[in-house]
Each structure stands twice: as C-alpha cells, then as structure tokens.
Amino acid sequence: MNRLLATILSSVCHPLLVPGYLFYVVCYQLPGVVLRPALPDRWLVLGVVLLFTFVLPSLGTALLLWGGYVSSLELRERRQRPLPLLLAVIGFGTATLLMGRYPQAFDMLLVQMMAGMTLAVLLTLLISLRWKISAHGVGMGGAVGLLGLLFLGAEAGSPIIWWLTGSIVLAGAVMSARLALNAHTPEQVWAGFGLGASLVLGFGVGLALS
C-alpha cells in the first residue's frame, strides 16, 4: 500500500471519528435497532457523539501541540499519548453520562455503545503507559465487534450483513495502512484489534447474561 492511500485511510478512519460513523449506522442505516430518539431527532445523538468524542478531544490535542506538550497530531511517540488519550477518556465519559442521565431520550443501546467506547479508550490509555498499542486497531476492532453483535441479533434480510462485511474489509485496510506508515508493528496492530473486538463482545455477553 502506498503512503498516500495509507495516510488517507488513517485520517478518514481516525479513532476519534469511528464512534461518529458507528452511531450514524446504528441510528440511520439499521431500521428498528434503536427506538429513542425518534428518527427526526437523531441528529441530536450524532451532535453529542461528535462534540464529545471528536471535536473537544481534537481541540484539546491541538492545544497540547500549541503548548509544546506533543510534537505532532499523529502522536507517534508513545510517551506523548497519555494526555491526549486522557482528554478522549474525559470526552467519551461525559457523553456516556449525558446519555445515561436522560434514558427517556436516548435508547439504552446508545448508552451501552458509548460506555463500551469509553472503556476501550481508557484501556488504550492504560496500556499506552507501557506499550504503544494501536488505537486505530482498537477502534476498528470495536467496530467489527459491535456490528458482529448486531448481526447475531438481526432479523433475516437486515442490511447489517453488508455493514459487517464492509467493516471487516475496512479494518484490514486500516491495519495495513498503519503498518505501511511504520506507525506500529504487526503485534501492536493486532493487539489493538483484538482488544477492541473482545471488549465489545465481552461487554455484549455480559449484558445478555445480566
């Protein structure tokens, strides 16, 4: 894979953008998966998700760059990752609390998705204190895991199969892109994917048994 394509894939599938994509798919592309809010009001869900999982963490990282705490927005150095990841944990956690506070407005699946994503970012932060696990891998693994869970509970004829297939193909492309850019080793990429996928699947099984 050439570096230009790898860079585009890494940017388009940045870990802070993946939550917005997933919430869009669940809210607008999979009929009947969520009931609240009603379809005309689901822009509010995307607004909350994008604000707290992308806009605010990105602005915070930009301020860290401006202040000299990180040397690049790509965060290639493991030692520079904790602060931006901490900002992401705070943003994701705030979105989870906000959604959970208004159960009459936000379907429980949306709250559970946000909570699982928050835990994934927190674990990525903790692991990154000692080892450079791939955040892109975590995000794509979580996406595949979530769509896999929804596929298992879907009715015949649901379009979820196409979204699941697409997520698997895209995950492979993004992981290849991270390797092509020398951003991670294969072990770091696969560990990230495994963490994201297993966390979502374990979260889903735990909720099903509770």
* Residue 208's pLDDT band (cuts 50, 70, 90): low
- The span from the CA of 150 to the CA of 12, in Å, is 24
Q: What pLDDT, on a 0 to 100 scale, did the predictor assign at position 207?
A: 61
Among 3-7, 53-57, 90-94, whose mean pLDDT is lowest?
A: 3-7
Q: What is the pLDDT of residues 101-160, one digit of tens each?
A: 998 889 999 999 999 999 999 999 999 999 999 999 999 999 999 999 999 877 777 889
The pair phi, psi for residue 148, each rounded to 5°, is: -65, -45
Q: What pLDDT, on a 0 to 100 scale, did the predictor assign at position 209?
A: 54
Q: Which amino acid is at 191?
A: A
Q: What is the pLDDT of residues 61-73, one digit of tens each?
A: 999 888 888 877 7
Quick count: other Cβ atoms within 10 Å of Cβ 31? 9
Instruction: Name the residue with tokens 């009715």.
Output: 155
Q: What is the value of pTM for the model shown?
A: 0.92
Mean pLDDT of the chain: 91
The domain segmentation of the chain, as residue ranges, is 3-209
Q: Residues with Cβ < 8 Å from 62, sequence gap 6 or more?
A: 73
| Average pLDDT score over residue span 32-40 | 89
Question: Would you say the C-alpha torsion 185, 190, 195, 197 has a positive or negative sign?
Answer: positive
- The span from the CA of 174 to the CA of 118, in Å, is 21
Q: What is the pLDDT of residues 172-192, one digit of tens each?
A: 999 999 999 999 999 999 999
